[in-house]
A and B are shown apart, each in its own frame.
Chain A
Amino acid sequence: MESLLPIVIVLALASAYGLWHKRTRGKIVVKSDKGLITAGMIGSELGSRATLLQFSSAFCGPCRSTRLLIEDVTADMVDVAHVEVDAEANLELVRTLDIRSTPTTLFLDSAGHEVGRAVGAPKRDQVVKAIAAIA
């Protein structure tokens, strides 16, 4: 046994990063610059009130649970659309919207303005609240 110091350092750094990651991921951040996203850009019609635009990828575990959560929350909402986009196949759009990791979910109003963004798997109550906030 030469030294335990490297292990202690690695585990301390990883723990700090892990705690920060856990705190920030999934949080829905309200956007104020309101970029415009059109039906043409995402290849799918927008919801008449709101659209949840989810970016997913093949090597992403929480993408599946995020999809199931959003499908469940929006199941009875005819005016809210859920559009899931494969990030890998749409790198141009990924760059335009500055998507860096998956899942990333954008909350769009009826006109296609981005009003909120969740990086990582969002929580159910936050999704419900964010949809309700879109008039």
Chain B
Amino acid sequence: MTQVSNSVKVSTLIDARGPRFGAAITTVVLAAALATNNVWFIVAQAIVFAVGAFKGPQFTPYAFIYKTLVKPRLKNEFEKEDVRPPQFAQSVGLLFALVAIAGATSGLNLLFSIAVAGALGAAFLNAAFKFCLGCEIYLLLLRARSK
């Protein structure tokens, strides 16, 4: 008999529109980085990703902008979301940003561009299509690791 745990614990719930707004700003910052090849855009974005990954996506500067400027202007009822999926996405973003920084500082410009392009694609998918990175890759990572 397989041991089955039937409930997935729910942690903190946040306004689902916050991380999506953050993904839109992230898209712009990463696009600027890719167009200019300027590593400082990525350093700034890496700090934001780190806050999102370690403290939570509701504590990033982008979330602050959302809370103070955007949310008060929205009238619709908001959709609640578990904080862990966007937090996972921030961690993956941080990983890509660190690879990009490593590429830039070691003179591997192609590595920088590929890492930034990957992060840009994911951030854009999240902002435009509500793409859930954790849904698509987390289980595949687990399956690959424990094979």
Pairwise interchain contact A3-B7, C-beta atoms closer than 8 A: no
A79 interfacial by beta-carbon distance below 8 Å: no
Interface with B: A35-43, A70-78, A110-118, A125-133, which one?
Answer: A35-43
Most buried by B among A17, A44, A64, A120: A64
Please name all residues of chain A whose beta carbon is closer than 8 Å to the beta carbon of B117 when the two chains form the complex: 6, 9-10
Nearest opposing residue in chain B for A41, CB measure: B2
Question: B5 contacts A89, CB within 8 Å?
Answer: yes
| Residues of chain A lying within 8 A (CB to CB) of residue B85 | 58-61
Give 1 or 0 for each of B121-144: 1 = CB within 8 Å of chain A CB.
Answer: 100110011111111101110110
Q: Binding site of B, secondary structure by majority: helix, strand, loop or mixed? A: helix
Helix, strand, loop or mixed for chain A's interface?
Answer: helix
Interface size class, chain B:
35 or more
What residues of chain A lie closer than 8 Å to B31, measured between beta carbons?
A: 7, 11
Do A57 and B6 touch (CB < 8 A)? no
B contact residues around A94 at 8 Å (CB): 139, 143
What's the Cα separation between A101 and B137 when bound, in Å?
A: 7
| Docked complex: A73-108 residues within 8 A CB-CB of B | 83-95, 99-103
Q: Indicate whether A61 sits within 8 Å of B82 (C-beta atoms), given known contacts A2-B36, A10-B34.
A: yes
Nearest first, the 8 closest Cβ-Cβ pairs linking A and B are A59-B134, A43-B4, A59-B88, A18-B129, A61-B85, A14-B121, A56-B8, A60-B135
